[in-house]
Amino acid sequence: MALDNRYIPDMSLSEFLIDPETGLPIGADGNAGTVEFWQDEDRSQPKNVFQLTGSPPNYTYSVLPNPMDVVNGIPVNENGENVAIYYYPYDELGNIQNYYVVFKNGEGVVVGEREAWPNLTPSDDPTQTENSITNELDNSQFVQVLFDPNYGLTITTNGAVSDALYEIAPRWYLKVSSNATSSIVINRTSLEGSLNIETNPPYQLEITPNGTDITALALIQRLDHNPDIWANGYVAASLMATSLDGISHTIEGIYSPNIAAAATTIFSETTGVLGYVRMSGTVSIAPGTNTDSADTGYVDFIVNLPPIGSVAVTSVQVVGLETDQQNVVYDQQPVNRQESLLFSYYNPLIQQVPVPSITQGWDFKVNPHQFASTVALGAIASSYVWDQTIIWQSVNSSTTASIASPQALNVTTSTTNQFALIQYMQGAQLRQLLANDFSVLIKAFTNLVDGASGTVSIWVTSDASLPNVASGTNLSLISTIDANGKPATFHGNWTEIPRNYRGDARFTIPFGTEMSEVALEGWNKTLRAASSTYTFAAIVVGFESADAHSVVFDSIAITPGLLARPFAPLSYSETLLQMQFYYQKSYGDGVYAGASTAVDCLTRPQIIRFGTPDSVYATAFSFEYQQMRTNPLPFLYAQDGTINTVTLVRGQTVQFNVATSDWSNNINTKSAQFYPITGVIQGGGGGMPSIQFHYTLDARLGVI
């Protein structure tokens, strides 16, 4: 153990003890004297004294003989060695208990005494002055619960369960094991002050298991990120308990690291049949053996409850100590103080409150991916793969974007390379970036064992247009990126929105199969140079070089404020409408431009000139579309998917060409008008003629 300041060394006994009758040191004549140690208040009861043995930090206080021999005026141990004598002026309950010390010469005659030694009083008791008594448990009197106290809570297990955890109050779980479907009734009861219960609790938690199938029942508070807190020290625990059914029940307090040779029982006491009982104990905690790090390790404080019978508990306390202090008083706190200490519980929940994201369509669960479900980039640098989502690759034909089940963006690489996700922004998005503090939250996982690392960067430009990402040039703002995934050279003129003193926003997406959140904060508007000339912005999520691997993205959010938070989810229809600002199509979900299908085709009538044979003249036709960011590029498709054609239906199905020169549209009225083609289009057939067609309208940033 470590040094314990409750043991008080008596250096005065290292001096010569003189026999006042002879004037010589006691025992100098060869006839050893003695020194005896008794309880001061009961001088018929001997009281142990100790010597310090061992070496740091593993000291031991070993019991000395009582009485001790005195040779040549010096007390000696059983080996005849002079040692420092350590007093322990406490009883077994930790109450102060001073010594009565008697000196005798070789003839057994009392030649001296010391009373109430070493004169320890409550005002200078080291157990009260050096141990900080602060309850380390939250919500110790159940001032907050996760159910309506007016109605209580009934937990029903789904069949047999083993160590099932049910959260019942902030920081408190009920752990249940049962052989069959069982139920436990829980109530939080308000207590009257006139009851004068020790610790003056405002509330108590009442737990009543039903039936006989429950085999184990416990309250648990978990001390996360503490694999072996209080190891090599002491822990005191206590609670107030009462029986609610007139039967005495045993309740235990347990200290239990998640990985340990064995849990440590701090107290095990019974309630009795009536009234409140304060259960408490203090134990020594052995050196730590938990092999988990602070990231995953924890200690549970467990209150084992009777699996049959009804009890109430309150004022639960755990205190770490330096010394073996018993009967540690309860740290009484008002309700408002207990509520304020629950900040650590509620703060992560507050951080999870979603807010609107500046990014659009990067909740990939509802991204409509109007172009295709799978896109292999091939021998191009940058390409749109999903709505508002561009991928840049460092090695041609190495990157593919596809849907991961149930729906997420799965970016895979077939060889060693770097890739980056890009989203361009303008208008309201750009203004939000420039006007706000903001943070980024990535939700993703990877199959790289060491994680997929990279850098998030935000860029703005005053250029009049964006690099052309359309087929044939396939350029984005990135020309090259550095080893950390940050753009190094550019197409166009780009300026970074800095992350201030925090430096580059480096990240590592964890290995696994479950989504993990990576928070990146610190883009502070007060340290940002503002400019009204900026025309576009871009977010770049770039990655370091890695062997063939995949990264699966659930979402990437830019949210206003210096606290990274998930963005408020939009429905699929809301997201589709948002994405149709940039790209629209007549094809249904999961059907892409160029598909051979008559489903969802638009139909428009044509003019017939009767004769032999009848002739069909090309007639102007139009359709309306959703608001788009600019006048879009139009593409028409016949039923069989042939681009720049439509299908004429008049007894037979044929195609005729529609050139882009025949197109006109008005973004203000959101309508598209196609003008006639010169001359007769088709003759023959019967019935009134019409045309059928699909369309796409493209106004994507970097395309037009």
Residue 526: pLDDT over 70: no
Taking phi first (over 0 means left), then psi (-120 to 50 degrees means alpha), and beta for anything else, what does residue 362 get? Answer: alpha
Same domain, residue pair 556 and 597: no
CA 520 from chain centre, in angstroms, equals 14
Residue 529: pLDDT over 80: no
Q: d(Cα 288, Cα 230) in Å, to the nearest integer?
A: 9
Reported as a single tens digit per residue, the pLDDT across 451-478 is 999 999 999 999 999 999 987 789 999 9
Residue 656: pLDDT over 50: no
Same domain, residue pair 273 and 393: no
Q: d(Cα 660, Cα 634) in Å, to the nearest integer?
A: 7
Q: d(Cα 450, Cα 461) in Å, to the nearest integer?
A: 35
CATH number of the domain that 83 lies in?
A: 2.170.14.10
Instruction: Quote the pLDDT of residue 15.
Output: 62
Cross-strand partners of 169: 172
Looking at the structure of the chain, the number of domains it has is 4
Which is more confident, 114 or 663? 114
Instruction: Quote the pLDDT of residue 128.
Output: 62
Instruction: Quote the pLDDT of residue 528.
Output: 62
Look at the block and give the residue holding tokens 């963005």: 567
Q: Residue 609: which pLDDT band, with cuts at 50, 70 and 90?
A: low
Instruction: Quote the pLDDT of residue 667.
Output: 56
Same domain, residue pair 497 and 431: yes
Instruction: Quote the pLDDT of residue 675.
Output: 60
Average pLDDT over residues 299-311: 97
Instruction: Quote the pLDDT of residue 610.
Output: 60
Tokens of 107: 């003839």
Cis peptide before 406 (omega within 30 of 0): yes
Residue 699: pLDDT over 60: yes
Instruction: Quote the pLDDT of residue 683.
Output: 52
Q: Are 369 and 384 in contact (CB under 8 A)?
A: no
Residue 304: pLDDT over 90: yes
Q: Residue 127: which pLDDT band, with cuts at 50, 70 and 90?
A: low
Closest CA to 506 of 497, 525, 523, 519: 519
Residue 9: pLDDT over 80: no
Which is more confident, 682 or 179? 179
Instruction: Quote the pLDDT of residue 644.
Output: 78
Question: Which of 223-237, 387-401, 558-572 shows the lowest per-residue confidence on average (mean pLDDT)?
Answer: 558-572
Of the three residues 579, 595, 627, the one that is the final residue of a domain is 579
Same domain, residue pair 612 and 680: yes
Angle at the Cα of 132 from the Cα atoms of 127 and 135, rounded to 5 degrees: 120
Q: d(Cα 304, Cα 299) in Å, to the nearest integer?
A: 15
Same domain, residue pair 119 and 167: no
Same domain, residue pair 240 and 252: yes
Judge whether 351 lies within some domain.
no
Residue 64: pLDDT over 80: yes
Same domain, residue pair 572 and 587: no
Q: Give the single-character DSSP code of 500.
A: G
Judge whether 659 lies within some domain.
yes
Q: d(Cα 516, Cα 163) in Å, to the nearest integer?
A: 26
Highest mean pLDDT among 261-270, 539-548, 688-697: 539-548
Judge whether 141 lies within some domain.
no
Instruction: Quote the pLDDT of residue 679.
Output: 45
Average pLDDT over residues 248-260: 95
Instruction: Quote the pLDDT of residue 130.
Output: 47
Average pLDDT over residues 666-672: 65
Question: Which of 144-153, 181-190, 228-237, 601-610 shows the lowest per-residue confidence on average (mean pLDDT)?
Answer: 601-610
Tokens of 194: 């006139």
In angstroms, how far apart are the furthest CA atoms of the chain?
Answer: 156
Closest CA to 368 of 549, 626, 622, 645: 626
Q: Are 587 and 694 in contact (CB under 8 A)?
A: yes
Judge whether 172 lies within some domain.
yes
Of the three residues 548, 579, 610, the one that is the final residue of a domain is 579
Same domain, residue pair 210 and 298: yes
Average pLDDT over residues 577-597: 95
Question: Which of 22-26, 94-98, 298-302, 540-544 shows the lowest per-residue confidence on average (mean pLDDT)?
Answer: 22-26
Residue 611: pLDDT over 60: no
Instruction: Quote the pLDDT of residue 652.
Output: 45
Instruction: Quote the pLDDT of residue 400.
Output: 97
Cross-strand partners of 384: 390
Judge whether 363 lies within some domain.
no
CATH number of the domain that 157 lies in?
A: 2.60.120.260
Q: Residue 133: which pLDDT band, with cuts at 50, 70 and 90?
A: confident
Same domain, residue pair 410 and 535: yes
Closest CA to 127 of 91, 83, 85, 86: 91
Q: Are 617 and 665 in contact (CB under 8 A)?
A: no
Share of the chain above pLDDT 90, in %: 66
Instruction: Quote the pLDDT of residue 565.
Output: 82
Judge whether 648 lies within some domain.
yes
Same domain, residue pair 276 and 310: yes
Residue 527: pLDDT over 80: no
pTM (two decimals):
0.64
Instruction: Quote the pLDDT of residue 290.
Output: 92
Residue 123: pLDDT over 80: no
Q: d(Cα 28, Cα 612) in Å, to the nearest integer?
A: 151
Highest mean pLDDT among 299-303, 523-527, 608-612: 299-303
3-state secondary structure of 668: coil
Judge whether 145 lies within some domain.
no
Average pLDDT over residues 106-129: 83
Instruction: Quote the pLDDT of residue 605.
Output: 84
Taking phi first (over 0 means left), then psi (-120 to 50 degrees means alpha), and beta for anything else, what does residue 318 get? Answer: beta
692 lies in which domain range? Answer: 583-698
Closest CA to 586 of 599, 604, 576, 571: 599
Same domain, residue pair 324 and 408: no
Judge whether 382 lies within some domain.
yes
Reported as a single tens digit per residue, the pLDDT across 342-376 is 988 888 877 777 788 999 999 999 999 999 999 99
Same domain, residue pair 604 and 618: yes
Look at the block and give the residue holding tokens 């701090």: 266
